[in-house]
Structure 1
Amino acid sequence: MKRLEKGLIQVYTGNGKGKSTAAFGLAVRAAGHGFKVYIIQFMKTGNFYGEINTFKRLAPEVEVKSFGRPGFIYKESPREEDYKLAREALEYARQVMLADDADIVILDEINNALYFGLISLEEVMELLKQKPPQVELVLTGRNAPMEIIEMADLVTEMLEKKHPYRQGIPGRKGIEY
Protein backbone atom coordinates (compact mmCIF):
# COMPACT_ATOMS: atom_id res chain seq x y z
CA MET A 1 0.00 0.00 0.00
CA LYS A 2 1.16 3.51 -0.77
CA ARG A 3 1.98 5.59 2.30
CA LEU A 4 1.61 9.32 2.74
CA GLU A 5 4.56 11.12 1.21
CA LYS A 6 4.25 13.98 3.67
CA GLY A 7 2.35 13.76 6.92
CA LEU A 8 1.27 17.01 8.52
CA ILE A 9 0.26 18.14 11.99
CA GLN A 10 -3.39 19.13 12.30
CA VAL A 11 -5.09 20.79 15.27
CA TYR A 12 -8.83 21.03 15.92
CA THR A 13 -9.49 23.35 18.84
CA GLY A 14 -11.91 26.00 20.11
CA ASN A 15 -15.06 26.10 22.22
CA GLY A 16 -17.41 24.96 19.46
CA LYS A 17 -18.73 21.47 18.82
CA GLY A 18 -17.06 19.17 16.31
CA LYS A 19 -13.36 18.85 17.11
CA SER A 20 -13.32 15.11 17.70
CA THR A 21 -15.98 14.64 15.04
CA ALA A 22 -13.78 16.32 12.42
CA ALA A 23 -10.83 14.10 13.36
CA PHE A 24 -13.03 11.00 13.30
CA GLY A 25 -14.34 11.96 9.86
CA LEU A 26 -10.74 12.04 8.69
CA ALA A 27 -10.24 8.57 10.19
CA VAL A 28 -13.21 7.20 8.24
CA ARG A 29 -11.99 8.79 5.02
CA ALA A 30 -8.47 7.45 5.52
CA ALA A 31 -9.73 3.94 6.33
CA GLY A 32 -11.69 4.03 3.08
CA HIS A 33 -8.36 4.41 1.29
CA GLY A 34 -6.71 1.62 3.27
CA PHE A 35 -4.65 3.80 5.60
CA LYS A 36 -3.87 2.61 9.12
CA VAL A 37 -5.36 4.97 11.72
CA TYR A 38 -4.72 4.95 15.44
CA ILE A 39 -7.01 6.96 17.71
CA ILE A 40 -5.75 7.58 21.23
CA GLN A 41 -8.34 9.14 23.51
CA PHE A 42 -7.16 11.19 26.47
CA MET A 43 -9.55 11.67 29.41
CA LYS A 44 -12.27 9.51 27.81
CA THR A 45 -13.64 6.04 28.36
CA GLY A 46 -14.32 4.17 25.16
CA ASN A 47 -17.67 2.41 25.30
CA PHE A 48 -19.84 5.45 26.02
CA TYR A 49 -19.33 7.04 22.59
CA GLY A 50 -21.19 5.76 19.52
CA GLU A 51 -18.25 6.33 17.21
CA ILE A 52 -16.25 3.69 19.09
CA ASN A 53 -18.76 1.04 17.98
CA THR A 54 -18.34 2.22 14.39
CA PHE A 55 -14.56 2.10 14.61
CA LYS A 56 -14.73 -1.52 15.76
CA ARG A 57 -16.34 -2.25 12.37
CA LEU A 58 -13.49 -0.47 10.60
CA ALA A 59 -10.79 -2.62 12.19
CA PRO A 60 -8.04 -3.36 11.38
CA GLU A 61 -7.68 -0.06 9.51
CA VAL A 62 -8.82 1.91 12.57
CA GLU A 63 -7.76 1.09 16.12
CA VAL A 64 -8.99 3.02 19.14
CA LYS A 65 -7.58 2.97 22.64
CA SER A 66 -9.13 5.09 25.40
CA PHE A 67 -7.28 6.31 28.47
CA GLY A 68 -9.77 7.74 30.90
CA ARG A 69 -11.78 6.82 33.94
CA PRO A 70 -15.55 7.00 34.23
CA GLY A 71 -16.88 10.28 35.57
CA PHE A 72 -16.01 13.91 35.15
CA ILE A 73 -12.53 15.29 35.71
CA TYR A 74 -12.32 18.70 37.36
CA LYS A 75 -9.36 20.88 36.41
CA GLU A 76 -8.95 21.99 40.01
CA SER A 77 -8.86 18.48 41.46
CA PRO A 78 -7.73 15.71 39.10
CA ARG A 79 -7.05 12.35 40.68
CA GLU A 80 -3.69 10.60 40.61
CA GLU A 81 -5.32 8.07 38.27
CA ASP A 82 -5.97 10.88 35.76
CA TYR A 83 -2.26 11.75 35.64
CA LYS A 84 -1.33 8.08 35.29
CA LEU A 85 -3.79 7.48 32.45
CA ALA A 86 -2.68 10.61 30.58
CA ARG A 87 0.97 9.54 30.83
CA GLU A 88 0.03 6.07 29.57
CA ALA A 89 -1.87 7.63 26.66
CA LEU A 90 1.10 9.79 25.73
CA GLU A 91 3.48 6.84 25.81
CA TYR A 92 1.09 4.70 23.76
CA ALA A 93 0.80 7.56 21.26
CA ARG A 94 4.58 7.65 20.93
CA GLN A 95 4.71 3.89 20.36
CA VAL A 96 2.04 3.82 17.65
CA MET A 97 3.31 6.98 15.96
CA LEU A 98 6.74 5.41 15.62
CA ALA A 99 5.34 2.02 14.58
CA ASP A 100 6.05 1.08 11.02
CA ASP A 101 2.37 0.78 10.09
CA ALA A 102 0.98 4.11 11.38
CA ASP A 103 -0.36 6.46 8.71
CA ILE A 104 -2.58 8.70 10.83
CA VAL A 105 -2.45 9.14 14.60
CA ILE A 106 -5.28 11.05 16.27
CA LEU A 107 -4.65 12.35 19.79
CA ASP A 108 -8.22 13.00 20.86
CA GLU A 109 -8.58 15.54 23.69
CA ILE A 110 -4.83 15.88 24.18
CA ASN A 111 -5.22 19.67 24.34
CA ASN A 112 -7.56 19.28 27.32
CA ALA A 113 -5.11 16.93 29.01
CA LEU A 114 -2.52 19.69 28.62
CA TYR A 115 -4.90 22.38 29.88
CA PHE A 116 -5.71 20.25 32.94
CA GLY A 117 -1.98 19.81 33.61
CA LEU A 118 -2.15 16.02 33.31
CA ILE A 119 0.80 16.04 30.90
CA SER A 120 3.37 18.71 30.17
CA LEU A 121 3.70 20.89 27.11
CA GLU A 122 7.36 19.89 26.89
CA GLU A 123 6.40 16.21 26.61
CA VAL A 124 3.89 16.91 23.85
CA MET A 125 6.26 19.18 21.94
CA GLU A 126 8.88 16.42 22.07
CA LEU A 127 6.31 14.00 20.67
CA LEU A 128 5.55 16.40 17.81
CA LYS A 129 9.27 16.70 17.02
CA GLN A 130 9.55 12.89 16.87
CA LYS A 131 6.77 12.58 14.28
CA PRO A 132 7.97 10.55 11.30
CA PRO A 133 7.67 12.44 7.98
CA GLN A 134 5.00 10.11 6.54
CA VAL A 135 2.69 10.18 9.61
CA GLU A 136 -0.27 12.56 9.82
CA LEU A 137 -0.71 13.67 13.45
CA VAL A 138 -4.02 15.16 14.60
CA LEU A 139 -4.54 16.85 17.98
CA THR A 140 -8.01 17.70 19.27
CA GLY A 141 -9.44 19.51 22.26
CA ARG A 142 -10.13 22.99 23.53
CA ASN A 143 -7.37 25.31 24.68
CA ALA A 144 -4.62 24.29 22.27
CA PRO A 145 -1.42 25.99 23.46
CA MET A 146 0.09 28.61 21.16
CA GLU A 147 3.29 26.57 20.85
CA ILE A 148 1.33 23.68 19.33
CA ILE A 149 -0.66 26.00 17.08
CA GLU A 150 2.58 27.51 15.78
CA MET A 151 4.09 24.08 15.09
CA ALA A 152 0.98 22.76 13.30
CA ASP A 153 0.47 22.83 9.55
CA LEU A 154 -3.33 23.11 9.77
CA VAL A 155 -5.31 24.65 12.62
CA THR A 156 -9.10 24.82 12.71
CA GLU A 157 -10.84 26.63 15.54
CA MET A 158 -14.43 25.58 16.17
CA LEU A 159 -16.39 28.64 17.26
CA GLU A 160 -19.64 28.24 19.16
CA LYS A 161 -22.30 30.64 17.93
CA LYS A 162 -25.29 28.81 19.36
CA HIS A 163 -25.66 25.47 21.14
CA PRO A 164 -28.78 23.59 22.33
CA TYR A 165 -27.09 22.93 25.67
CA ARG A 166 -27.51 26.65 26.44
CA GLN A 167 -31.27 26.13 26.01
CA GLY A 168 -31.27 23.28 28.52
CA ILE A 169 -31.21 20.50 25.91
CA PRO A 170 -28.80 17.80 27.14
CA GLY A 171 -26.42 15.86 24.92
CA ARG A 172 -28.28 13.35 22.75
CA LYS A 173 -27.22 9.77 22.10
CA GLY A 174 -26.16 9.39 18.48
CA ILE A 175 -25.74 13.15 18.01
CA GLU A 176 -23.41 14.48 20.70
CA TYR A 177 -22.03 11.14 21.86
Structure 2
Amino acid sequence: MTNISQGLVQVYTGDCKGKTTAAFGLAIRAVGHGFRVYIIQFMKGGDDYGELEGLKRLRPECQLEHFGGQGWVRKGELQEEHILEARKAFIRAQEIIISGEWDIVILDEIVNALWFELIPESEVLELIDKKPPHVELVLTGRNASKLLIEKADLVTEMVLKKHPFEKGIMARLGIEY
Protein backbone atom coordinates (compact mmCIF):
# COMPACT_ATOMS: atom_id res chain seq x y z
CA MET A 1 0.00 0.00 0.00
CA THR A 2 1.34 3.42 -0.97
CA ASN A 3 1.80 5.98 1.76
CA ILE A 4 2.16 9.10 -0.41
CA SER A 5 -1.12 10.74 -1.37
CA GLN A 6 0.48 13.34 -3.67
CA GLY A 7 3.83 12.57 -5.26
CA LEU A 8 5.84 15.58 -6.38
CA VAL A 9 8.92 16.11 -8.55
CA GLN A 10 12.07 17.33 -6.83
CA VAL A 11 15.32 18.44 -8.47
CA TYR A 12 18.59 18.80 -6.57
CA THR A 13 21.07 20.68 -8.75
CA GLY A 14 23.98 23.11 -8.53
CA ASP A 15 27.75 23.24 -8.69
CA CYS A 16 28.54 22.03 -5.18
CA LYS A 17 28.46 18.68 -3.41
CA GLY A 18 25.37 17.56 -1.58
CA LYS A 19 22.87 16.63 -4.29
CA THR A 20 23.20 12.85 -3.98
CA THR A 21 23.68 13.16 -0.23
CA ALA A 22 20.40 15.07 0.10
CA ALA A 23 18.54 12.54 -2.03
CA PHE A 24 19.93 9.61 -0.03
CA GLY A 25 19.08 11.40 3.21
CA LEU A 26 15.51 11.60 1.95
CA ALA A 27 15.65 7.86 1.19
CA ILE A 28 16.75 7.06 4.75
CA ARG A 29 14.02 9.25 6.23
CA ALA A 30 11.39 7.70 3.96
CA VAL A 31 12.39 4.11 4.79
CA GLY A 32 12.16 5.05 8.46
CA HIS A 33 8.50 5.88 7.86
CA GLY A 34 7.79 2.68 5.94
CA PHE A 35 8.07 4.04 2.40
CA ARG A 36 9.56 2.00 -0.43
CA VAL A 37 12.41 3.75 -2.25
CA TYR A 38 14.08 2.81 -5.54
CA ILE A 39 17.32 4.51 -6.60
CA ILE A 40 18.79 4.40 -10.08
CA GLN A 41 22.22 5.93 -10.50
CA PHE A 42 23.28 7.26 -13.90
CA MET A 43 26.95 7.65 -14.92
CA LYS A 44 28.28 5.57 -12.00
CA GLY A 45 30.19 2.72 -13.63
CA GLY A 46 32.55 1.72 -10.84
CA ASP A 47 31.94 -0.28 -7.70
CA ASP A 48 33.81 1.95 -5.25
CA TYR A 49 30.89 4.14 -4.16
CA GLY A 50 30.12 3.73 -0.45
CA GLU A 51 26.41 4.08 -1.02
CA LEU A 52 26.34 0.78 -2.93
CA GLU A 53 27.16 -1.14 0.26
CA GLY A 54 25.53 1.24 2.72
CA LEU A 55 22.12 1.17 1.10
CA LYS A 56 22.10 -2.64 1.02
CA ARG A 57 21.39 -2.36 4.74
CA LEU A 58 18.04 -0.74 3.97
CA ARG A 59 16.80 -3.62 1.82
CA PRO A 60 14.17 -4.62 0.89
CA GLU A 61 12.49 -1.22 1.41
CA CYS A 62 15.29 0.58 -0.46
CA GLN A 63 16.81 -0.77 -3.66
CA LEU A 64 19.66 0.67 -5.71
CA GLU A 65 20.86 -0.06 -9.23
CA HIS A 66 23.76 1.75 -10.84
CA PHE A 67 24.68 2.14 -14.48
CA GLY A 68 27.60 3.74 -16.26
CA GLY A 69 30.61 3.15 -18.41
CA GLN A 70 34.19 3.23 -17.26
CA GLY A 71 36.08 6.51 -17.19
CA TRP A 72 34.96 10.10 -17.36
CA VAL A 73 32.28 11.37 -19.71
CA ARG A 74 33.32 14.40 -21.73
CA LYS A 75 30.76 16.65 -23.39
CA GLY A 76 31.05 16.42 -27.17
CA GLU A 77 33.25 13.30 -26.92
CA LEU A 78 30.67 10.67 -26.05
CA GLN A 79 31.62 7.02 -26.06
CA GLU A 80 29.12 4.38 -27.14
CA GLU A 81 29.46 2.59 -23.78
CA HIS A 82 28.31 5.70 -21.88
CA ILE A 83 25.33 6.22 -24.20
CA LEU A 84 24.26 2.56 -23.92
CA GLU A 85 24.56 2.56 -20.12
CA ALA A 86 22.52 5.77 -19.85
CA ARG A 87 19.86 4.27 -22.13
CA LYS A 88 19.71 1.10 -19.98
CA ALA A 89 19.37 3.22 -16.84
CA PHE A 90 16.60 5.29 -18.39
CA ILE A 91 14.67 2.24 -19.58
CA ARG A 92 14.92 0.79 -16.07
CA ALA A 93 13.78 4.13 -14.60
CA GLN A 94 10.73 4.09 -16.87
CA GLU A 95 9.83 0.56 -15.74
CA ILE A 96 10.20 1.39 -12.05
CA ILE A 97 8.31 4.70 -12.18
CA ILE A 98 5.43 3.52 -14.37
CA SER A 99 4.98 0.36 -12.27
CA GLY A 100 3.79 2.56 -9.40
CA GLU A 101 5.16 -0.05 -6.96
CA TRP A 102 7.61 2.34 -5.30
CA ASP A 103 6.72 5.39 -3.21
CA ILE A 104 9.87 7.35 -4.04
CA VAL A 105 12.11 6.99 -7.08
CA ILE A 106 15.47 8.73 -7.09
CA LEU A 107 17.24 9.20 -10.43
CA ASP A 108 20.70 10.09 -9.22
CA GLU A 109 22.86 12.05 -11.71
CA ILE A 110 20.18 11.96 -14.42
CA VAL A 111 20.49 15.74 -14.74
CA ASN A 112 24.17 15.25 -15.62
CA ALA A 113 23.20 12.59 -18.17
CA LEU A 114 20.89 15.17 -19.75
CA TRP A 115 23.58 17.85 -19.80
CA PHE A 116 26.06 15.44 -21.42
CA GLU A 117 23.33 14.57 -23.96
CA LEU A 118 23.42 10.87 -23.08
CA ILE A 119 19.61 10.84 -23.07
CA PRO A 120 17.16 13.31 -24.62
CA GLU A 121 15.58 15.81 -22.26
CA SER A 122 12.25 15.43 -24.07
CA GLU A 123 12.09 11.79 -22.92
CA VAL A 124 12.70 12.73 -19.29
CA LEU A 125 10.05 15.47 -19.41
CA GLU A 126 7.61 12.98 -20.95
CA LEU A 127 8.39 10.46 -18.20
CA ILE A 128 7.63 13.10 -15.57
CA ASP A 129 4.22 13.56 -17.20
CA LYS A 130 3.60 9.79 -17.08
CA LYS A 131 4.59 9.47 -13.41
CA PRO A 132 1.76 8.01 -11.32
CA PRO A 133 0.33 10.70 -8.99
CA HIS A 134 1.38 8.84 -5.81
CA VAL A 135 5.08 8.50 -6.80
CA GLU A 136 7.59 11.07 -5.51
CA LEU A 137 10.33 11.57 -8.12
CA VAL A 138 13.75 13.01 -7.25
CA LEU A 139 16.29 13.96 -9.93
CA THR A 140 19.85 14.97 -9.10
CA GLY A 141 22.80 16.43 -10.98
CA ARG A 142 24.47 19.63 -12.07
CA ASN A 143 23.19 21.98 -14.76
CA ALA A 144 19.42 21.50 -14.55
CA SER A 145 17.80 23.09 -17.58
CA LYS A 146 15.19 25.81 -17.44
CA LEU A 147 12.55 23.36 -18.71
CA LEU A 148 13.35 20.81 -16.02
CA ILE A 149 13.29 23.47 -13.31
CA GLU A 150 9.90 24.71 -14.55
CA LYS A 151 8.51 21.15 -14.59
CA ALA A 152 9.62 20.36 -11.02
CA ASP A 153 7.62 21.13 -7.89
CA LEU A 154 10.70 21.68 -5.70
CA VAL A 155 14.17 22.73 -6.85
CA THR A 156 17.14 22.98 -4.53
CA GLU A 157 20.39 24.44 -5.83
CA MET A 158 23.64 23.58 -4.07
CA VAL A 159 25.80 26.71 -4.34
CA LEU A 160 29.56 26.53 -3.93
CA LYS A 161 30.84 28.92 -1.27
CA LYS A 162 33.96 27.04 -0.23
CA HIS A 163 35.33 23.56 -1.00
CA PRO A 164 38.28 21.55 0.35
CA PHE A 165 39.44 20.92 -3.24
CA GLU A 166 40.55 24.57 -3.21
CA LYS A 167 43.13 23.55 -0.59
CA GLY A 168 44.23 20.52 -2.59
CA ILE A 169 42.21 18.06 -0.48
CA MET A 170 41.05 15.31 -2.83
CA ALA A 171 37.79 13.29 -2.62
CA ARG A 172 37.76 11.21 0.55
CA LEU A 173 36.52 7.66 0.98
CA GLY A 174 33.22 7.59 2.89
CA ILE A 175 32.73 11.34 2.57
CA GLU A 176 32.66 12.21 -1.14
CA TYR A 177 32.30 8.69 -2.49
TM-score interval for Structure 1 and Structure 2 normalised by the shorter chain: over 0.9
How far off is 1:51 after superposition?
1.5
How far off is 1:46 after superposition?
5.6
How far off is 1:126 after superposition?
0.6
Query: Do 1:30 and 1:37's aligned partners in 2 also have CA atoms closer than 8 Å?
Result: yes
* Residue in structure 1 matched with residue 19 of structure 2 by the alignment: 19
Whole-Å separation in 2 of the counterparts to 1:160 and 1:146 = 20
* Residue in structure 2 matched with residue 76 of structure 1 by the alignment: 76
Q: Deviations 1:8-64 (Å, cap 9, x if unpaired)?
A: 000000001100000000011111112111101010136211112111111111111
Q: Where does the alignment leave 5 or more consecutive residues of structure 1 unmatched?
A: none
Query: Do 2:100 and 2:132's aligned partners in 1 also have CA atoms closer than 8 Å?
Result: no
Q: Where does the alignment leave 5 or more consecutive residues of structure 2 unmatched?
A: none
Whole-Å separation in 2 of the counterparts to 1:3 and 1:132 = 13
Query: Do 2:2 and 2:134's aligned partners in 1 also have CA atoms closer than 8 Å?
Result: no
Q: Deviations 1:109-131 (Å, cap 9, x if unpaired)?
A: 01100000100111111111001
* Residue in structure 2 matched with residue 112 of structure 1 by the alignment: 112
Whole-Å separation in 1 of the counterparts to 2:2 and 2:124 = 28
* Residue in structure 1 matched with residue 87 of structure 2 by the alignment: 87
Whole-Å separation in 2 of the counterparts to 1:100 and 1:161 = 39
Whole-Å separation in 2 of the counterparts to 1:47 and 1:174 = 13
Q: Deviations 1:47-97 (Å, cap 9, x if unpaired)?
A: 211112111111111111111022211113120111111111111001001
How far off is 1:100 after superposition?
3.6
* Residue in structure 2 matched with residue 154 of structure 1 by the alignment: 154
Whole-Å separation in 2 of the counterparts to 1:29 and 1:112 = 25
| TM-score, normalised via structure 1 length | 0.96
| TM-score, normalised via structure 2 length | 0.96
Q: Evaluate the alpha carbon distance shift between residue 79 and residue 2 of structure 1 in structure 2; reply closer, same or farther with a 3 A threshold.
A: closer
- Give runs of ≥4 in structure 1 deviating > 3 Å: none
* Residue in structure 2 matched with residue 165 of structure 1 by the alignment: 165
Equivalences, count: 177
